[in-house]
Structure 1
């Protein structure tokens, strides 16, 4: 009981820590955006002066007045307006958040400094802000460079849950390798699958990082690219960018530390889907067990039992006190042909409950020697006459790494 309470307390503490970090990141982004917007807006005074739209005491300096209202003055005013626009764009990118705020912010600060420097006697404070912004941008570039050399690169869509991504991607190093003896006691379809999928001597990796692309049904079929990390005993994060015409929708689905979450934003700003709570967590747990086919070396996280035929096997996990099971159909050569889960959800607006969720495997491929499905279709109502309306996901896997 004490160990259980300690584990529960640790999970709650970890979730609270992630929430605090997320709030701090968001607060810093908002404060930074306010400063950038404020500094950019001040340049409108220069536009007003050089286009003779008004007078401001702060900008009544001798060097500028001869140019005001002339053709050259119009050009200079246009440059000041460009600086304002660049700062506003940098602020929007900072709030998304997008790493593109750095080059845009740097360009804005450099152009701002160029127009303020000849008037330094009257614009010293503005120059100071530009120098500070350039310093922040330089620090951001250095940080980004360090991230690129990090063996655990978090995709941009998952940066709001970067700590969870790193936790799933850096599981304890495997201490055992696969052998037929490890699966000798499992039902025959499981043995057929695992001895086909995992070559003898392969480390029993605890997680997999997967790159994929395909189509997802959001009203109509939309293209997407995605990165996923999955650890069969702990959770997954699926981070993707889908396209609604020319508009990107970025975000993630996850199950980690016993909780589920979906968070998706158009242009990185406008919330499209934000979902948390018990129903989301139960549904996400059901999805996790289906992901075993992407990381078959994690088979020991489940208990395995015979399925409804000689080609079916059922794996059961205990996740956050809740049992979740998946049924795999295995072909004669050991290939996975389909996955079926009685998954919690409310497909098509149905009341929350358990409904058939499944995947059809169209091909397989070897990654680092491990054979997994390479082309899949997934959705609700699998195996029923409602599959055509329930299918919402088609993907091709292009890259896999293990840890």
Structure 2
């Protein structure tokens, strides 16, 4: 299957500058293509992954991807999708973010000895250009009227846009021109909000390198969930790729909880499963939705891709323990992941009667209620029921010397940290 045919089957193409020309070119030879990300933070979230997953698909089809980290453009800020000016970061913070994203990209997309994927930083060629060169050699090739007509700019005219953010598309266009001339890049891909920047880059290439220049642009559709909300956002915020921001267990659970209406779309977009595998899972969504096999496969594939086999197995172990109630099988680190969002209390290591302990922490409202719940078997500690109101809670009850898990009823968990 041609790479363009595969992307179309996966519903991963929004716009193309020349669909017929790009298909023909990718059938004739292996091409170089690029996608960029600005270092506005020290980690990508799952929304950032979408175009880079597409780069990986091109690589698997024999093409040569280039990943651009925007060390220069990141100091300015892309106005797309924003209705107000972005707060500028210090150059030191931008560089720290560049370093973090570079390592993240290497982990996800570059295997040892792999010469097919290249990482570049646009600061390397942009910082050499002085203001006079910028205005004479590049600014002269941009029409203000055309720039104002771009959606990314026109949407900001009422609220206002600075010259700094207005000039962003010139810098991104310069990136495409540089990579076209020096890295043989003939295709830029990006999200649907990047269409204006991509077409500006193509215009600059044809003005500077000649109208016969062969270069293309392709964008990916904006991804929304079935309920119309933005993909990748939860009540707790973005789903980050950095395990220190979103734990592997939380990451796994995000995908495992995917709505039936979205799961096949996500399998197509994010996984490298074959068409036959995805169609088989799609059939099971229709015939056996209660088994949630598609969601489990999606969660496994994505957690393995981002965090590796070991942390995938850890996430599955935490999931299984929470489902079965076998809390004792978990390590303290796994409990910290699995119960991160649970109500959390702190207790000293001194021994105390279970009834008094529950009331003092605030897990139970009164001693009467605490005694009643313990007597009825409604209280479990680390997965085991407590029915003796005379029982003492001691430091030895803590898993790893750190945590005690209390379950009240069937679903009300509390995490108690020993200080």
TM-score range with shorter-chain normalisation?
Answer: under 0.3
- Of Structure 1 and Structure 2, the greater helix share is in 2
**Structure of greater relative contact order (alpha carbons < 8 Å, 6+ residues apart):** 2
Q: TM-score, normalised by structure 1?
A: 0.27
